[in-house]
Structure 1
Amino acid sequence: MASHYKRLGKIGLITLGLLLSIPGGIYLILLLSRPARIPQVQELFPGVIYTRLVLSNPRPLVIHQVKIDLNTASMQPLVTPGDPQPDGMEISARTTSEFVREFGVKLAINGSFFYPFEVKSPWQVYPEGGDRVGISGQAIANGIEYSPVNGGWPVLCFLSSPRAVIPGSDACPPDTQQGIAGGTILIWDGEAVPLSSGSFYDGAYPRTAIALDASGTQIFILVVDGRQRFYSEGMSLPELQALLVELGVDTALNLDGGGSSTLVVADPHLRVLNAPIHTRVPLRQRAVGNHLGFKD
């Protein structure tokens, strides 16, 4: 009888060990599925060039850059259309991949800061897909404003002509077809803008930013992976500014970052070009308020 219970105990321990190893195995698979830390340059579409930068200093970094030439690219911008309801919220949250599938865009990033947002555990998160959220700052899709101007949230605006502007204010010009708000202007007239101090500015985090040349016809998208030790640990905003100055941009706007930072392409199959991390889970995408996409 004693040997029987001993044998059952061993079986139980083996079973428990196997069950405990499953999450670790899944996590390892996710880590190995991230884009390789290998530099890459690829033409995604005519006039759209993707570059993966891999750095080791000042810390491990993987940076994703997309340059879009509006003079030669046949793609048109699209901000996620809003759906204001009596609940006071302007839109239903979606992941960036869901936005790409639903609206048929070829390239997309996460967009504006939004609210509410809460993480109690990896299983208790708000918002999830379909949950209602509000947009921080002005948002315009297809010429229709669905989130009003809100002071302190500067905007990126795509005009009726094939040109974009970051006007330096929180309101887009009247002829704006697509408009999206960010959090901080990083570059103005080719120079880094003085920033406040604090963990949001000085900490190394995932980042998303968009920049323009002086003509407004060259679009630069930057997505920095972060919160992933030995792979890519993120950038501070001053470090992001320095990189943008090196690129020679004229103006640049910081968008929502952290677990929101996501870059997706459909060429034609959907691919996530970066390594998003939401609730500390690699490759897990966050449902966010709105997005900026480009479509045929």
Structure 2
Amino acid sequence: MLQRDRANFRKIVSLFVLVLLMIPIALYSRSQFSRPPRTDEMRSLFPGIVYERKALSDPRPLMVHQIAIDLATPGIRPFVTPGVVALSPRGLETVARTVTEFVDEFDLQIGINANFFNPFREETPWDFYPHIGQSVNNLGQVTSNGNTYSPPQAGWSTVCFLPQNRVRFEQSGFCPKETEQAVAGNDFLMKDGKPVPPPPHIAPKDKPYSRTVIAIDKSGKTLWLILVDGKQLQYSEGLTYVEMSEYLERLGAETALNLDGGGSVTLAVQTPTGAKVLNAPIQSRIPMRERPIAAQLGFFAPKN
């Protein structure tokens, strides 16, 4: 009798372990099927905002998501995640939220991820930091509605939004005094209409990666938000620094700045039922799972 009970117990334990192992596989498989299809698409989201999805196969499987914003369109207005005063004893600046939460919370029409940030940790699908609502710190300048709550830092270039939707890219990291909104990235990909070579610390290890890039044309009237999905074999495997610069040159970008990439790469749009993701983010190895991040850049636009 005792031997039979032990055998039954071992079977139950084995079944329990098998179920635990199958849960992440099931979640991963389900999330794969919810990704945007590998088909091209172009549509107007709102007056002055056009979305284009490109399913490419060269130099490897790629999904590129491109927003073109006509800055001269009445009602188009940028907005950046606000800070939180005295958030924590360590002086961290804001709370982590996803891009869809950002779009919904501030009633925006579109939003993307922006600054690199810390602290950050990603060990397993359940062991990561930050979770939604946890305190975080931006790298480089962040200005929201004229309030600069994350100061400029060496090595973090900025894109500055001035009155009348004027846009300036500052390699120094310091925006003009009249700046209303600002976010920061690490490296310029385009300057004066020409690709910028990778910095020495990047060139030897320039590998395909998920990327978020902000760019502007020579007239200063068209702003592009370009997101490249990555880390997803045979679906979208990312672009190298050099390949991203070449893409921007073909697009006609005058200046372009690399924002936070990897699992942070997210594009969200407002819909009648709330904000929805347009790309395929991958957080803690799970496709279509959004990463909570420190700063987002969004835009108000006339509603259809």
CA distance, structure 2, for counterparts of residue 152 and residue 199 of structure 1: 14
Q: 1:140 to 1:34 in 2, by over 3 A?
A: same
Is the 2:103–2:268 contact (alpha carbons within 8 Å) kept by the matching residues of 1?
A: yes
CA distance, structure 2, for counterparts of residue 78 and residue 272 of structure 1: 18
State the Cα deviation string for residues 152-202 of structure 1 (Å, max 9, x = none): 111001101122111332111111110111111110010011212456861
Structure 2 unpaired stretches of 5+: none
| Aligned partner (choices 96, 115, 119) of residue 116 of structure 1 | 119
CA distance, structure 2, for counterparts of residue 41 and residue 253 of structure 1: 24
- Where does residue 126 of structure 1 map in the other structure? 129
CA distance, structure 1, for counterparts of residue 202 and residue 157 of structure 2: 21
CA distance, structure 2, for counterparts of residue 121 and residue 277 of structure 1: 13
**Deviation of residue 49 (structure 1)?**
0.6
Is the 2:79–2:297 contact (alpha carbons within 8 Å) kept by the matching residues of 1?
A: yes
- Where does residue 83 of structure 2 map in the other structure? 82
- Where does residue 175 of structure 2 map in the other structure? 172
**Deviation of residue 11 (structure 1)?**
7.3
State the Cα deviation string for residues 211-266 of structure 1 (Å, max 9, x = none): 01123221100000000001001111111100000000110000000010000000
CA distance, structure 1, for counterparts of residue 150 and residue 8 of structure 2: 62
Is the 2:99–2:268 contact (alpha carbons within 8 Å) kept by the matching residues of 1?
A: yes
- Where does residue 211 of structure 1 map in the other structure? 215
- Where does residue 48 of structure 1 map in the other structure? 49
What aligned pairs does 1:175-254 form with structure 2 within 5 A after superposition? 175-197=178-200, 202-254=206-258
| Aligned partner (choices 274, 282, 288) of residue 287 of structure 2 | 282
Secondary structure (helix, strand or coil) at the match of 1:169 reads: coil
- Where does residue 68 of structure 2 map in the other structure? 67
Is the 1:61–1:232 contact (alpha carbons within 8 Å) kept by the matching residues of 2?
A: yes
Secondary structure (helix, strand or coil) at the match of 1:180 reads: strand
Q: 1:15 to 1:92 in 2, by over 3 A?
A: closer
CA distance, structure 1, for counterparts of residue 9 and residue 90 of structure 2: 55
Aligned residue type for 1:189: D
Secondary structure (helix, strand or coil) at the match of 1:121 reads: coil
**Deviation of residue 19 (structure 1)?**
5.5
Q: TM-score, normalised by structure 2?
A: 0.90
Aligned-residue RMSD, C-alpha? 2.2
Question: For structure 1, which segment, 221-230 or 94-103, has the greater mean C-alpha deviation from structure 2 after superposition?
Answer: 94-103
CA distance, structure 1, for counterparts of residue 128 and residue 157 of structure 2: 28
CA distance, structure 2, for counterparts of residue 105 and residue 63 of structure 1: 22
**Deviation of residue 23 (structure 1)?**
3.1
- Where does residue 30 of structure 1 map in the other structure? 31
Q: TM-score, normalised by structure 1?
A: 0.93
**Deviation of residue 151 (structure 1)?**
1.2
Secondary structure (helix, strand or coil) at the match of 1:68 reads: strand
